[in-house]
Each structure stands twice: as C-alpha cells, then as structure tokens.
C-alpha cells in the first residue's frame, strides 16, 4: 500500500488540531495506518525550533527570520518523520505545512517564490498529496481561538485583524492557483459534519 501525505491548513481557530485527530480516527477505522504530526514541530529538532517561534513578543523575529526558522524546522521534520512514514506506506496527517508559511510570512511581504525556493532546498520540495483548507467567515476563527486559549494568544494569534485577513486572502490565492492539490472545507457546523466533509474531500485518494 502506498503512503499518502495530507496537510490541514487554515487561519486561527478553524479547528485544525481537532479535525486532524478526528480525521485520523476515521481513516484508521478504514484500516489505514495513520501518522499524526504538526508544524512547526513533529521531530525533535523541529520541536526545539517551535519553542523559538511560538513564544515571546510578536516582534521577536522579523518575517525573514521566521521564514528561515520555519524552513529549518520543516527540513528536519520531513527528513526525520514525514518521508520515512510515507515510504513505509503510512498516511501522514500534518496540522499545518508549507502553505502556512506562504500565508503567514507571505502575508508580511515575503515573496512566495522565495519561500518555495527555501522549501525546495530544505525539504526537497515535498508537497502534500492533498491539502485540506478549513475555512470560516472572517473573524469567527479568531474568536474561537481566544476561547480555546483562555484569552492568551501565541505570537501569531496575537496579531491584529488586518494581519489575519491577509492570511485568509493568501490561503484563498493558494487554493485558487493550486486547486488540484488544495480543497476548501467549510469548518462550520458540528465536528462530525466537518470530519465528513474532510473525508469527502479525500474520496479520490482513499483505497
């Protein structure tokens, strides 16, 4: 059985972590072996870099420094965890991947081609077989995220509404340009409803 690589993307509070876990359960119920991971993180080296990226003041790193740190974390994650799992025939579900860097750091003025060039060097250009972009109406995700985190946001969640609008617009551009890989999934409704939509968006890849 050939492995598959699926990423879940979206802005703050759209339910990526919850739905990654639910989707893994649904796929395992179909007899697939699923590896669940996240970015930044997922390997020992990448988790160390995650601490640098997610903690501290919003201005701790410049957008260029963030892009380099994300690329370094991803390179270790791909080499140590993602590629070996795919090659072993497993399904890999990743909570965020390269498209988050394109949306978040790209939304701060970093050229998309430069981000993809870093990805080509560090992670040999590995892209998911399918990217599931969870979407909510503007502002709804930020409200959810604050409820989830008890009103204390990380370095990215703490940024203002204009920043998050730019992120949403960047995700939309990626989805429009790469529709064969990226599928939008409405994140409204019950968790069960959303999980079913994710399964539906993977139907052509399922055995």
Q: 66 or 150: which carries more pLDDT confidence? A: 66
Burial of 32 (0-12, 13-18, 19+ CB in 10 A): middle
Tally of domains in the chain: 1
pTM of the model: 0.90
Containing structural domain, residue 99: 4-201
In a domain? residue 103: yes
In a domain? residue 136: yes
State percent of the chain over pLDDT 90.
75
**Which of 19-28, 103-112, 165-174 is least confident?**
103-112
Per residue in 126-184, pLDDT (tens digit) is: 999 999 999 998 756 555 544 544 555 555 655 667 888 899 999 999 999 999 999 99
DSSP 133-200: EEE--TTHHHHHHHHHTTT---TTTTS-HHHHHHHHHHHHHHHHHTTTTEEEEE--S-HHHHHHHHHH
Residue 30 C-alpha from the chain's centroid: 23
In a domain? residue 146: yes
In a domain? residue 111: yes
- Domain with 108 in it: what CATH number? 3.40.50.300
In a domain? residue 206: no
Q: Supply the DSSP symbol for 96.
A: S
In a domain? residue 207: no
In a domain? residue 56: yes
In a domain? residue 83: yes
């Amino acid at each position: 059985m050939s492995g598959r690589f699926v990423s879940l993307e979206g802005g703050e509070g759209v339910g990526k972590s919850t739905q990654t876990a639910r989707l893994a359960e649904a796929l395992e119920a179909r007899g697939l072996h699923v590896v669940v991971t996240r970015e930044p993180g997922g390997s020992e080296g990448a988790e160390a870099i995650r601490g640098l990226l997610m903690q501290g003041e919003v201005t701790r790193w410049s957008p260029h420094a963030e892009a380099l740190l994300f690329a370094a974390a991803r390179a270790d994650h791909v080499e140590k965890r993602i590629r070996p799992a795919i090659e072993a025939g497993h399904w890999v579900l990743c909570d965020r991947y390269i498209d988050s860097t394109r949306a978040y750091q790209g939304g701060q003025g970093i050229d998309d081609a430069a981000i993809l060039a870093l990805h080509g060097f560090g992670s040999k250009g590995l892209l998911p077989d399918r990217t599931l972009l969870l979407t909510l109406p503007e502002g709804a995700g930020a409200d959810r995220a604050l409820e989830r985190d008890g009103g204390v946001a990380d370095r990215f969640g703490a940024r203002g509404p204009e920043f998050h609008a730019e992120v949403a617009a960047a995700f939309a551009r990626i989805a429009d340009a790469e529709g064969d890989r990226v599928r939008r999934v409405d994140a409204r409704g019950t968790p069960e409803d959303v999980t079913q939509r994710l399964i539906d968006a993977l139907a052509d890849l399922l055995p």
